[in-house]
Amino acid sequence: MVENTAPMTEASKLGKFSWAMFDWANQPYFTVVTTFIFAPYFTSHVASSSVEGQAYWGYTQAIAGILIAVLSPVFGSIADAGGRRKPWILFFAVVCAIGAFSLWWAVPGQQSGIVWILAAIILGTIGVEFSLVFNNAMLPNLTPQSKMGRLSGFGWGLGYVGGLIALFIVLFGFSLPTEPLFGLDKATFEPDRITGPLSAVWFLVFIIPMLLFTPDTKPTGISKKVAVQQGLGSLLTTLRSLKDYKNIVFFLIARMFYNDGILALIGFSGIYAAGLFGWGTTELGLFGILINVFAIAGCFLGGWLDDKMGSKPTIVISVLGLSFASVGVLSISHGQVLFGLPAAMPVEDGALFGSPAEMVFMGFAFIMGFFFGPAQASSRTLIARLSPPEKVGEFFGLFALSGKATAFVAPLLIGIVTSASGQQRPAMIIIFVFLMVGAALMSFVREPSHD
């Protein structure tokens, strides 16, 4: 295995902070669109039923996952050949913004034209994910390996802060006031639909510091056509010689499973709660805020733990914590918690999150929130430490592939199981299996010293 031991010049504090701002810029899309606000709104009000909506959502994420898995290594290898990352980041940020802004037209009970809303969801998802490939590939050129964990964790934590603020804006600016900002109409769920345009504008505005102040990889000087040819050639060579990178391959295979479980847990926990407890925008938004508070703490602690103990132990601890939380969520059904203990469900005009069933769900959700960030931030750090310097974009493309190659499987299985059973709960078993398989496979990964 070739390890990244080449000398590097550390970026300025402004450059590193601006790079971390990219996580702040993209996180609202994941927070208010794909997790806590728009996704449950879509499944509960745009589709004809919550079961059909969850199935549709699973299919959109499956399609996006396939496209990301196939194309990420290609784009990463082309960027390595051409050198620069920022033009790619900006292009795909614009693609994401177009898809996200289009969600404004996802009106309640939409049957005709729903295919265009599904297409917009796919477009937004692939745009934000492709931009992440190139931004992540900048990490090894910004800070020494011994400090990568803290910078990666700081970026992820900053992202959760951005998502938290976006949730506050949606809740206290649009959903809770009697007269929402901009005169939004609650009857047509405009406070839910505005999350698309909000995340689009947020993304484009807050990537500006990274574009201005973070040092980019120097251009190689070759034309775009030659960069494409060389990039594809390099990717094919790497794929044929993966036997020389067995340690990286073991890690990428492990990540295929645990990351798929993490993404499914993030994406479907809010949907599951909305269907089980009948939560609306207010409950889901506050749920998201509380989750993010725990996620921020987890990211900053995880970044410190990463540099002290290593990326691999941080990942394994986090994935096992998420596995425990997923079992806890799975144990909750209508009127029961912990696989059979009776627990009252929420009643009309009851206290917010006041029913015993909701309290148990929130307890496991807080555990989820705490471990989400460290698992993902340390994964980014580990691939940066393992990648050869001349192929870092290429391996981050393969890293994205490992996060998406099976990422379509979990949403697809969730969609199929939900449709076949007519229930939301059985699909949660899939998440637990993916997490545990990923944690077990991490035992084959050897992490190099980064002192």
pLDDT tens digit sequence for 220-265:
667 667 777 776 776 677 777 777 778 888 898 898 888 888 877 8
pTM of the model: 0.76
How far is the C-alpha of 54 from the C-alpha of 276, rounded, in Å? 13
Residue 171 in this model has a pLDDT that exceeds 70? yes
Sequence-distant (6+) residues with CB within 8 A of 58 are 411, 412, 414, 415, 418
How far is the C-alpha of 178 from the C-alpha of 191, rounded, in Å? 12
Under the phi-then-psi rule, with left for phi > 0, alpha for psi from -120 to 50, and beta for the rest, what region is 169? Answer: alpha
* 426 found inside a domain: yes
Average confidence score pLDDT of the chain: 82
Residue 313 in this model has a pLDDT that exceeds 80? yes
Report the SS3 class of residue 337: strand
* 451 found inside a domain: no
* 449 found inside a domain: no
Sequence-distant (6+) residues with CB within 8 A of 237 are none
* 148 found inside a domain: yes
* 212 found inside a domain: yes
Least confident interval from 8-22, 106-120, 194-208, 400-414: 400-414
Q: Which residues pair with 333 in a beta bridge?
A: 336
Q: What are phi and psi of 422, to 5 degrees?
A: 70, 15
Report the SS3 class of residue 408: coil
Q: How many CA atoms lie within 13 A of 57 on its CB side?
A: 30
CB–CB of 414/407 below 8 Å? no
* 362 found inside a domain: yes
Give the model confidence (pLDDT) of 50-103 as tens digits. Answer: 778 878 887 888 788 888 877 877 777 777 766 688 988 999 999 999 999 999
Residue 367 in this model has a pLDDT that exceeds 80? yes
Number of domains in the chain: 1
For 365-404, give the DSSP string. Answer: HHHHHHHHHHHHHHHHHHHHHHS-GGGHHHHHHHHHHHHH
Range of the domain at 177: 13-444
Q: Give the CA dihedral 247, 307, 216, 220, nearest 10 degrees.
A: -30
| Closest to 151 (Cα-Cα) out of 2, 294, 12, 291 | 12
How does DSSP classify residue 336?
E
pLDDT category of residue 200 using cuts at 50, 70 and 90: very high
* 3 found inside a domain: no
Question: Residue 264 has what pLDDT?
Answer: 78
Residue 16 in this model has a pLDDT that exceeds 70? yes
* 8 found inside a domain: no
- What's the Rg (C-alpha) of the chain? 21
How far is the C-alpha of 57 from the C-alpha of 117, rounded, in Å? 11
Q: How many CA atoms lie within 13 A of 359 on its CB side?
A: 8
CATH number at residue 164: 1.20.1250.20
